Amino acid sequence: MISRLKSTVFLCIVTVLSNGLISSAIAQVTTLSRAVRTAENSEPSIPRPEQERAVAQKLAALEKKTGKKPNIVWIVVDDMGYGDPGCYGGGIAIGAATPNMDRLAREGLRLTSCYSQHTCTPTRSAMLTGRIPARTGLIRPILAGDTLTKNPWEGETSIAKILSDSGYYTLLTGKWHIGEAVGMRPHDVGFDEYYGYYPAQKEITQSLDPRRYPDLVLDKEKLAAYQEMGMGHSLVHGFKSGKTTEVSKINSTDDMGRADRVLSDFTVKKIKELSQGDKPFFIEHCFMKVHCDNFMNPDFPGLSASKFAYKEGVAEVDLLIGEIVQAIEDAGQLENTFIFVTSDNGPQMDGWPDAGYTPFRGAKGTTFEGGIRVPGIAYWKGMIAPGRESDGIFDLMDMFNTTMTIAGAKFEIPDEIYIDSVDQASFLLHDEGLSNRECAFFWIGTKLMAVRMREYKWHMKVVIPQSTHLYIDMSILVDVGLAPWLFNLYIDPKEEKPVGHRRNAWLATIGAEAKAHLMTFKKYPIKDVGL
Query: Which parts of this chain interact with Ca ion (CB under 5 A)?
Result: 78-79, 120, 344-345
The amino acid occupying position 44 is P
CB of 346 to Ca ion, least distance (A): 9
Q: 170: which strand partners?
A: 282
CB of 451 to Ca ion, least distance (A): 23
Nearest to 380 by CA among 118, 124, 72: 72
CB of 498 to Ca ion, least distance (A): 29
Asked if 424 and 402 count as a contact pair (C-beta separation under 8 A), the reply is yes
Phi, psi angles (nearest 5°) of residue 245: -125, 155
> Between 156 and 344, whose beta carbon lies closer to Ca ion?
344
- Residue 394's alpha-carbon distances to 17, 117, 238, 438, 474, in angstroms, are 29, 12, 32, 9, 30
CB of 177 to Ca ion, least distance (A): 8
Compute and round to an integer the Cα radius of gyration of the chain: 22
CB of 31 to Ca ion, least distance (A): 35
DSSP string, 329-363: HHTT-GGGEEEEEEESSS--GGGTTS----SSS--
> Between 55 and 200, whose beta carbon lies closer to Ca ion?
200
Asked if 450 and 426 count as a contact pair (C-beta separation under 8 A), the reply is no
- Residue 65's alpha-carbon distances to 61, 62, 68, 69, 253, in angstroms, are 6, 5, 8, 10, 48
The amino acid occupying position 445 is G
Distant-in-sequence, close-in-space partners of 7: CB < 8 Å, separation ≥ 6: none
> Between 76 and 268, whose beta carbon lies closer to Ca ion?
76
Report the residue closest to Ca ion, judged by CB: 120
Phi, psi angles (nearest 5°) of residue 429: -100, -20
Distant-in-sequence, close-in-space partners of 210: CB < 8 Å, separation ≥ 6: 217, 218
CB of 349 to Ca ion, least distance (A): 13
> Between 120 and 393, whose beta carbon lies closer to Ca ion?
120
Other beta carbons within 10 angstroms of residue 107's beta carbon come to 16
CB of 197 to Ca ion, least distance (A): 14
CB of 180 to Ca ion, least distance (A): 17
CB of 175 to Ca ion, least distance (A): 8
Helices (H), 133-208: 133-136, 159-165, 201-205
DSSP string, 466-519: SSTT-TTTTEEEEE--SS-EEEETTT-TT--S--TTTS-TTHHHHHHHHHHHHH
Other beta carbons within 10 angstroms of residue 410's beta carbon come to 9
The amino acid occupying position 432 is E
CB of 345 to Ca ion, least distance (A): 5
> Between 192 and 318, whose beta carbon lies closer to Ca ion?
318
- Burial per residue of 24-63, b for 16 or more beta-carbon CB atoms within 10 angstroms, e otherwise: eeeeebebbbbbeeeeebbbbbbebeebbebbeebbeebe
> Between 118 and 517, whose beta carbon lies closer to Ca ion?
118
> Between 372 and 512, whose beta carbon lies closer to Ca ion?
372
Beta strands in 344-484 (DSSP E): 373-379, 388-390, 394-395, 439-444, 447-453, 456-459, 461-465, 475-479
CB of 98 to Ca ion, least distance (A): 18
- Residue 14's alpha-carbon distances to 327, 453, 515, in angstroms, are 53, 17, 7
> Between 320 and 404, whose beta carbon lies closer to Ca ion?
320
> Between 52 and 84, whose beta carbon lies closer to Ca ion?
84
CB of 79 to Ca ion, least distance (A): 4
> Between 127 and 514, whose beta carbon lies closer to Ca ion?
127
> Between 275 and 345, whose beta carbon lies closer to Ca ion?
345
> Between 81 and 232, whose beta carbon lies closer to Ca ion?
81
- Burial per residue of 274-289, b for 16 or more beta-carbon CB atoms within 10 angstroms, e otherwise: bbeeeebbbbbbbbbb
